[in-house]
Structure 1
Amino acid sequence: MNSEKSTQLLRPADHFSVLLSPTPRGARLARLLAVDWTRDRDLPHRVTEAAEHLVAELATNAATHGRLTGRDFRLALLTDGATLRVEVTDTRGDDLPRRRVPATNAESGRGLLLVEALADRWGVDLGPVPRKTVWAELDLPRA
């Protein structure tokens, strides 16, 4: 998937975007906002639940690994009726996501495995410098 999808013009109801502080509180707010947004669109429970976990992981990564003092991260949710796309943009384009398998802490570094398990597709778009956007997509059931 290329980054052109994230720049398509959508109806306002199909797009949500907010800047949040790169803190645990900002990551938690991202998750809560995503749940409300998906529920307001009557998306299936399975999709809402998966989106909640994806946003929680990607926002936590942005608040932990993408954090720069004084710079927020952006959460964007987009749907075209066939796909729900979750985007989290931070200002650490030099720190790309990667699976980590730490020797001493088995709980840390497993987030991308969760993203891979839940998302139908995911990836990273770079730029404009110094930003990166980590995105994940969920296919929506046909009506």
Structure 2
Amino acid sequence: MPSTETFRIPRHRRHVHDARQRVRKTLADWGVTGRLADSVTLLANELVTNAVTHCRVSDARVEVTLTLHGTELVLEVADPDRDRLPRLRRSGPDEEGGRGLALVAALADAWGCRQEPYTKRVWARFSPAEAETDVAARERVPVAP
């Protein structure tokens, strides 16, 4: 049975830190550590920052969901600005922003977004050997070399 943690934060930059800390704590509670935890936490920071920066719905809340099912870990960030879909772009060397989705593409095994009736949801999936090692350690199952 999958483990799932969902929480919401106000759409304001000062709450990005809270989301990052909550993701880190959830991963630690599940026994997910090391590079995988670092990558998921970094991408949560990027996706939540994108949501609070680009969502144009007033008084919106950003929803963060983590799901651990076997060796697959999924991070999802949703906001109510369903028609403003994220797109990967190239940033110039002098630009301060615009690299968040490039990080998502580089660190996640897969990522994407989908429109739902009242929200858009950006997701990143993590699965292979690194997740197997971390999850197996959590379950106290030895992993073959």
- Give TM-score, length-normalised by structure 1: 0.84
The alignment covers a number of residue pairs equal to 131
Distance 1:47 1:104, change over 3 A: closer
Pair 1:121-2:110 in alignment:
yes
* Partner residue in 2 for 1:132: 120
Q: Would you say 1:78 and 2:79 are equivalent positions?
A: no
Unaligned regions of 5+ residues in structure 2, if any?
137-145
What is the root-mean-square deviation of aligned Cα atoms in Å? 1.7
1:16-51: CA deviation from partner (whole Å, max 9, x where unpaired): 001101111222111110001001111131111001
Work out which of the residue numbers 32, 39, 44 in structure 2 matches 1:50: 39
Distance change >3 Å, CA 70–CA 39, structure 1 → 2: same
Alignment of 1:90-101 (within 5 A): 90-101=79-90
> For 2:64, what is the secondary structure of its paired residue?
strand
Match of 1:6 in 2: none
- After superposition, what is the alpha-carbon deviation per residue over 1:48-82, rounded to whole angstroms, capped at 9, x for unaligned? 10011110000000100124211101001101021
Taking the aligned partners of 1:31 and 1:117, their CA distance within structure 2 comes to 19
8 A contact 2:91–2:99 mirrored in 1: no
8 Å CA contact 1:77–1:84 kept in 2: the answer is: yes
Question: Identity of counterpart residues, as a percentage?
Answer: 34
Aligned-pair distance for 1:102? 5.0
AA aligned to 2:124 is: A
Q: Which has the larger radius of gyration?
A: 2
Length-normalised TM-score, structure 2: 0.83
